[in-house]
Amino acid sequence: MNTRHWNWIQGLTLAALLPLFAACSSEGDELLQSEEKQPVQVNITRAATDGNDWAWQDNDQIKMNITPHNGTATEYILTYQNGNWSNTALDEMVLPATVQAWYPSSASYESFSFAHDWNSYVVESPGWDGYTKMQIDGTVNQSSEAEFAKSDWMTAEQTLRESTLNLTLQHKLCKVTVIISNYDDYPIESVRFYTSYTNNSTGAYTGDLRILEVNPLTDATAHKYTAIISAWTYDDVKARRPPLMKLKVNGKDLFAKHTEPLLSGNAYTFNLTVNNPDATTTRSAGASECELELVDVEDMNK
């Protein structure tokens, strides 16, 4: 067989295969284009493994951005009422779709700012670092479970491939619990934590130095104080950041410090020893007025 015959046979073979390739391509395109829209049902849970799983309250809202296949993003609001989420049967859409969801609805998927009362005050020198005045822009109220839950910023992102969307929201901030395990017999008048106002997916927004105090969820009998605050490095004097918390004892402000970073999604438990600030003779040499001990760290999103 000469070269001319061989080229001619190759040409016939390729010509015979072209309709087959075209049919396969056409069938694939037709399948994609004729893919039927499907209604989507949503189920919502949240990661909670730290023993403080607060309950959803009526009028709690979650927002979602859903981008269907070859489509544009649509924002949905889901409202909790009488044990159910309204609008859980979403518009019909072509799958697969990309889903981003977040709680509370006042936040966004990318950032969260604490709601506060805007009552600012100045920590006079000597402040927590001994020499710098610092403005506090307001107080975040977490003194009830309902108010506490409003600070629990959570997000979820996934690809929706079926008609049921099972969302598991992940905690983005951190939770701190401080138990005053040892103290002298005198009144502790108040306990406040500190936090950054603005937060992103990995912690506090470092470019924003607006600092808030947090009125925590309190179990007075157990001397237990719990707050949701920024994932941040506290007690960083160079960055003018406050310590973890402040106590008012006998009219005097005492500051409890924790120098290690607090990480997004973690729950921290501390024991705190508070020494009488007016009884220096009862303390051992070098002992501070507030001695904070980390006793447990738990991943709330595991």
Residue 12 lies in a domain: no
CA 169, 174, 179, 183: dihedral to nearest 10 degrees? -160
Residue 253 lies in a domain: yes
Under 8 Å between Cβ of 65 and 109: yes
For the chain, 302 residues long, give each residue's pLDDT as a single digit of tens. Answer: 544 443 333 333 333 333 433 444 444 443 333 356 666 777 787 765 555 567 888 899 999 999 988 888 889 998 888 887 877 667 778 889 899 999 999 999 999 999 999 999 988 755 666 666 788 999 999 999 989 999 999 999 999 888 888 888 999 999 999 999 887 767 888 999 999 999 998 788 767 678 999 999 999 899 999 999 999 999 877 777 889 999 988 888 888 989 899 999 999 999 999 877 666 555 455 557 788 999 999 999 88
Q: What is the reported pLDDT for 184?
A: 73
Residue 263 lies in a domain: yes
Structural domain boundaries enclosing 255: 111-151+173-299
Residue 194 lies in a domain: yes
Report the predicted TM-score, pTM, of the whole model to 2 decimal places. 0.81
Under 8 Å between Cβ of 89 and 39: yes
Residue 283 lies in a domain: yes
Residue 2 lies in a domain: no
Q: What is the reported pLDDT for 8?
A: 34
For 254, which DSSP code? E
Name every residue whose Cβ is closer than 8 Å to that of residue 293 and which is 6 or more positions away in sequence: 270, 271, 272, 273
Residue 43 lies in a domain: no
Domain count, the chain: 1
Residue 47 lies in a domain: no
Sheet of strand 290-299, all strands in order from the earlier edge strand to the far edge: 217-219, 224-229, 174-183, 266-274, 290-299
